[in-house]
Structure 1
Amino acid sequence: MKYPTFEDVKKARETLKDVSTSHWVQDDLFTWKWWLLLAATFLPWVIWIKYRDKERTLEILCYGLLWAILASATDVIGGESLLWGYPDKLLPMVPPLFPADISVIPVSYMFIYQYTNTLKRYLVFSLLLSGFFSYIVEPIFIKLEMFALHNWAHTYSFIGFFILSLIPYYLIKKLTIKK
């Protein structure tokens, strides 16, 4: 049995890129789903800029950027592992759920971080938001055919969202302790 070489992988990726771009032009670009993804990329940040705690902007922004990194990495790993998938993309060359990973999810948790002043309140609201994303948003996106579960369940997403919410909270709290 001949194992694939790097060149074989490169050719397969080139084919995938061509198919993906063709699909994006034919099925995604300028559809209502594409406009929804575009709005989801920018609108949360516009809202955050308007309602952010201006005295804590850097702290909250760092928290959100950590969330965006975690969400993007998790999404790439899950997508590449075929645990879930996204039929629609904003752009053909970026991860499919880029708008959620860098905008909707981090900004939503940024508001929780901003408006909760104790760990207990943060945990309660993080659990609620994790449930909202997992059990309400995900099923809606499945019905809209913008999200597909393959070898995954909403409960796994719930656990994942909640665990991921602890990481930026802990890191930012550790880095911003005032003496």
Structure 2
Amino acid sequence: MDKQKVIQYADQNTSQIQYLIQQKVKFWTSEVLFSSYWWFALSLSVIPWLIWWIFRNKRSTDRLFYAGLFVMCISLILDVLGDQLGFWYYRFNLIPVLPTYFPWDCTLMPVTIMFMLQIKPRTNPFIKAIIFAIVSSYIGEPIFKWMEVYVQSNWKYSYSVPIQIIIYLIAHYLSKRNKFDELV
């Protein structure tokens, strides 16, 4: 394919994507915004953070938040990939232009892991990772599917388990880092 055909194809593709996003925003504005699903998503985005802020280990706030930020970033990236590759999608987004379920990626995953990191910190991280993975994959995902927020296309709950284990273990590793030099 020559350069002009590639440019034309890329421009047409982008134009179609932009049109579909505009249609999604129109639908979201008229049907989702301020619906019970939207309020639920907003609550899930705010309340867990408030609970964490109150009950966090105050001496470990920075360390926990560092691990939580990693979880948030990797969750967002993987969720976008899964959506774009057609493994799943979400019907009732908090923010219409994000293909991810914001409360899951930016609140439920990081806050849950941050709490697990601070509770019984000497417990074997592999045990905690397995518990986290099983609960999020076999309880969390099915609840959102039952609520008709989350739709699986080419995905099984079991596929999430090893990914969730790895995410937890990396967050655990990051939470134990202490080699930060003072900024000068």
1:145 Cα deviation from its structure 2 partner: 0.7
C-alpha distance in 2 between matches for 1:55 and 1:99: 26
TM-score of the two chains, using structure 2 as the length reference: 0.88
1:19-47 deviation per Cα after TM superposition (whole angstroms, max 9, x unaligned): 11122123211111111100010011100
Contact 1:42–1:103 (8 Å) recurs in 2:
yes
Residue deviations 1:68-101 (CA, integer Å, cap 9, x gap): 0011111011111111110111111223311110
State the match for 2:128 in structure 1: 125
Task: Specify every segment of 5 or more residues in structure 1 that has no aligned partner in the other structure, as ranges.
Answer: none
The structure whose Rg is larger is: 2
- Aligned residue type for 1:89: N
- In structure 1, the residue matched to 2:144 is 141
- Alpha-carbon offset, residue 16 of structure 1: 1.3
Residue aligning to 2:66: 62
Q: State whether structure 2 residue 19 is matched by structure 1 residue 15.
A: yes
Q: Aligned equivalents of 2:143 and 2:68: distance in 1?
A: 24
Matched to 1:143, the amino acid is: W
Given residue 164 of structure 2, which amino acid in structure 1 is its aligned partner?
F
Q: State how far apart, in whole Å, the 2-side matches of 1:105 and 1:48 are.
A: 12
- Identify the residue that residue 118 of structure 2 maps to in structure 1: 114
SS of residue matched to 1:151: coil
* Identity level (%): 30
**CA distance in 2 between partners of 1:163 and 1:119 (Å):** 17
Structure 1 position 119, deviation (Å): 5.7
Instruction: Name 2:34's counterpart in structure 1.
Output: 30
- The one of 173, 176, 179 aligned to 2:178: 176
Structure 1 stretches of 4+ with a deviation exceeding 3 A read: 1-4
Query: In 2, are the aligned partners of 1:89 and 1:97 still within 8 Å (CA)?
Result: yes
Q: Distance in 1 between matches of 2:95 and 2:107?
A: 15
Normalised to the residue count of structure 1, the TM-score between the two structures is: 0.91
Give the alignment's Cα RMSD to 1 decimal. Answer: 1.8
* Contact 1:90–1:96 (CA under 8 A) maintained in structure 2: no
- Runs of 5+ in structure 2 lacking a partner? none
